[in-house]
């Protein structure tokens, strides 16, 4: 199964739409609730990152009998230092984003902790790609 969602940068009222939809789909497929929770947490964090930091983005989700693969591609400022961005508590979120309760610097660490594989690539001035894989029998 393949799903695709478009994400609008700055639109916090719609942040979480893709993760909510994926949660419904995985429940209908009778995926283990522990795996559903992990995948939804990781996707929500990635989705909020697009809303908070990028102009726009697209989420691609592929589900098969063995795994869930999620790829998020955004058009934004990019991440100059991915290793630094992976550190818990590090954030480049604006004061406005922080006032809304986002931008605590837990997004990438939460994605890593809730997936079996995480790959982040980025080009400053162009955008970021996040690829996450979660195995269904993990």
**The pLDDT value given to residue 39:** 97
Q: Which residue has the tokens 């955008």?
A: 127
CB atoms within 10 A of CB 16: 16
C-alpha distances (whole Å) from 67 to each of 2, 32, 43, 76, 93 are: 12, 12, 14, 28, 32
pLDDT tens profile 124-133: 999 999 999 9
**The pLDDT value given to residue 47:** 96
**The pLDDT value given to residue 138:** 58
Q: Report, as ranges of residue numbers, the positions in the chain whose pLDDT lies below 50.
A: none
**The pLDDT value given to residue 30:** 96
Q: Which domains does the chain have, with CATH numbers?
A: 2-135 (3.30.565.10)
Separation of CA 85 from chain center: 14
């Amino acid at each position: 199964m393949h799903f695709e969602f478009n994400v609008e940068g700055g639109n916090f009222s719609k942040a979480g739409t893709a993760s909510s939809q994926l949660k419904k789909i995985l429940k209908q497929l009778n995926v283990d609730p522990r795996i559903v929770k992990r995948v939804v947490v990781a996707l929500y964090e990635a989705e909020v990152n697009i809303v908070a930091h990028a102009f726009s983005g697209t989420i691609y989700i592929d589900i098969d009998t063995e795994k869930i693969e999620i790829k998020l591609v955004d058009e934004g400022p990019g991440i100059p230092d991915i290793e630094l961005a992976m550190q818990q508590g590090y954030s480049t979120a604006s004061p406005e984003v922080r006032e809304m309760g986002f931008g605590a610097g837990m997004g990438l660490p939460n994605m890593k902790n809730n997936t079996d594989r995480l790959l982040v690539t980025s080009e400053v001035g162009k955008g970021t790609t996040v690829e996450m894989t979660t195995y269904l029998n993990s």
